[in-house]
A and B are shown apart, each in its own frame.
Chain A
Amino acid sequence: MSLAPSEHAPATATPAGRGATGQTGRTRPGHRRLLTRTSVPYLLIMPAVLGFAVFKAYPIVASLWISLTTGNGAGRHFTGLDNYQRLLNDPLFWTALKNTALILVVQVPLMLGLALLVALGLNSTKVWLRPLWRLGVFIPSLTGLVAAGVMFSVILNRDAGLLNWVLSLFGIDRVNWLGSPFWARVGVVLVITWHYTGYNAVIYLAGLQGIPQELYEAAKVDGAGPIRRFVSITLPQLRPILLLTVVLSTIGTLQLFDEPYVLTGGGPDNATLTVTMYLYNNGFKYFDFGYASALAYALALIVAVLGFLQVRLMGERK
């Protein structure tokens, strides 16, 4: 470390742009690299660090502080853990958490399972017109949540929605999607699944295509059937990508807001009220920033714990 000060001292005194103004002709390349090594990278990351400090780091810290206070503006005062206390005793918070958890445990496995099946199909050389199907299944993920939500609020309409009409062709009675607590949850799950399955399928497809073919050839020689090959080769090889999608989908679903906001408004009977939606209501309908921040931190904690558990359970075993 004794070298460090002497390395840095001349560089800080040298303007970063100096190399560009013709100084280089007289300096050895090795020396120049030393200059760039010290000041240029800091200039390059400055906008990012500045933005990060203002729009990420500060809000994360400020939010924690706000969660320990009550009142807004000049009337804000420190109330310690009161908001967290309140949260633990708030039936609506538990309802929201329960709804979010329910949607999570049904939706994430359903979606990722489907995505894996679609990816296996898209990866099979036995299928005609693969690029077309790949394009089609990916398209929903481009749509904004609001556009998708609006679209499905009509498609899921009980009396005249497209879905009930299609079901009626198969002799299935009208379902009161969005109208009954149970079916509203199913409806929300359906819409999210429609929205993101293709996206995950395309990610899986890339993972499948990265698995060395020799592994499969060798397994075939050893007499392994298709299911055995899937379990012993495909799944372990895909593990990093599976982990990534599980973690990302979990984070996404835990933050679920747009779909219920547009589709159900959290109803009926709070059946689709999610934690983020409850947070939004407290923060921006009732302007109870302290409580909303406590909700945000509770959610962040849940995300962190779940993410950690998932990484521990599914990550590389060494």
Chain B
Amino acid sequence: MKRRSLLLTLLLAGAFGLCVGPFYWLAMAATQENSDVFSWPPKLLPGGHLMENLQGLQDSIGLTRVLFNTVLVAGVQTVGAVVVSVLAGYAFAKFEFRGRNLFFVLLLSTLVLPDTVMLIPIFEMMMKLGLIDSYQSVILPGLVTPFGIFLMRQALRSMPDELLDAARVDGAGELRVLWRIVIPVNRPVIAALALFVFLGGWNQFVWPLIALRSPDMYTLPVATATLQGLATTNYAQVLLAAAIAAVPVMALFLVLQRQFISGLLAGATKE
């Protein structure tokens, strides 16, 4: 039996408190009246105005519409980016072809370039295509994720070739091999990737802020930020919006915690 250290445990509990404490406060503040958000001392117990604040958000930003937009954008982006990443990752992991290394290095090199370099040309492109203020304008640029392709390549490389060859000998075409073997065998890492992309899509801010114009099209982060900028800001509502943005993400994470962390580590520690 190892000796445990109370001091170390308390230090970590302190770090835990610093990390999680603000969320507790947020949850409580979101249920207060606006005037009570800034009361001294801060209210640290539930306030009973949750429904009222929800109704307020519905009136001010059209909460249901905004949530629909956010789920749609993040959802389509997730499906698309996962498909693109699995296909490309499979090619990079399991095929020899001319230009393989060149393509791969080019793809990865965009990981280190600041996204801001691409903002203006993409904006002009979307303007020309008449796509500004549309779902497509937000979704399309998110479909190619160098990180996703990298992650899938790393994961698929560790799959034994014999498994694939056995299926090929049995007469399965490449799509069938992919669908029947590659995807089922790698379901955990694909789930992790899906979660990453969804998180990114759910939280993305700068590009939607630029690409979306009408409040009807806003995603939750954009709507929240514009709400905060108003002179007559109702802070209880803004904080509720922030809480609503944080909750689904945490719920997803709690459910898929193991895949998520192993996926993150696969991306960070391999090679």
A residues whose Cβ falls under 8 Å from a Cβ of B: 16-17, 19-22, 24-25, 29, 32-33, 36-38, 40-42, 44-45, 47-49, 51-52, 54-60, 62-63, 66, 118, 121-122, 124-130, 132-133, 135-140, 142-155, 157, 159-162, 165, 194, 197-198, 202-203, 206-207, 210, 241, 244, 247, 251, 254-255, 257-258, 261-262, 276, 279-280, 283-284, 289, 292-293, 296-297, 299-300, 303-304, 307
Contact = CB atoms under 8 A, between A and B. Distances in A.
Contact of A136 (B20, B90, B120): B20
Given A283-B120, A289-B120, A124 B5 contact: yes
A147 B40 contact: no
Contact of B9 (A129, A202, A206): A129
B239 A144 contact: no
9 contacts: A36-B174, A37-B96, A37-B97, A52-B144, A128-B4, A139-B20, A147-B243, A159-B40, A203-B265
Contact of A51 (B2, B143, B202, B268): B143
A128 to B, nearest CB: 5
A26 B224 CA distance: 62
Interface of B: 2-5, 8-9, 11-13, 15-16, 18-20, 22-23, 25-26, 29, 37-42, 83-85, 87-88, 90-92, 95-97, 100, 103, 106-107, 110, 112-125, 140-141, 143-144, 149, 165, 168-169, 171-176, 199, 202-206, 210, 221-222, 224-225, 228, 235, 238-239, 241-243, 245-246, 249-250, 253, 257, 261, 264-265, 268-269
Given A37-B95, A194-B22, A257 B84 contact: no
Secondary structure dominating the interface of B: helix
Contacts of B42: 160-162, 165
Best-buried of B40, B144, B235 by chain A (most CB within 10 Å): B144
B203 A145 contact: yes
Most B-side CB within 10 Å, residue of A51, A207, A241, A283: A51
B173 A60 contact: no
Contacts of A139: 19-20, 23, 250, 253
A59 B15 contact: no
B88 A262 contact: no
B144 A56 contact: yes
A202 B9 CA distance: 17
Contacts of B222: 146
B11 A121 contact: yes
Given A22-B171, A29-B165, A142-B250, A160 B206 contact: no
Given A144-B202, A257-B206, A63 B39 contact: no
Nearest to A292: B120
Contacts of B16: 132-133, 136-137
Contacts of A284: 123, 210
Contact of A151 (B112, B113, B239): B239
A162 B25 CA distance: 8
Interface centre among A142, A147, A198, A247 (most CB of B within 10 A): A147
A-B pairs, 8 with minimum CB distance: A20-B173, A144-B203, A51-B144, A41-B95, A44-B91, A59-B118, A48-B88, A62-B121
A86 B82 CA distance: 43
B182 to A, nearest CB: 11
Contacts of B87: 44-45, 47-48
Nearest to A16: B174
B12 A121 contact: yes
A137 B171 contact: no
A303 B29 contact: no
A147 B245 contact: yes
Nearest to B88: A48
B88 A45 contact: yes
Contact of B221 (A56, A146, A304): A146
A153 B241 CA distance: 14
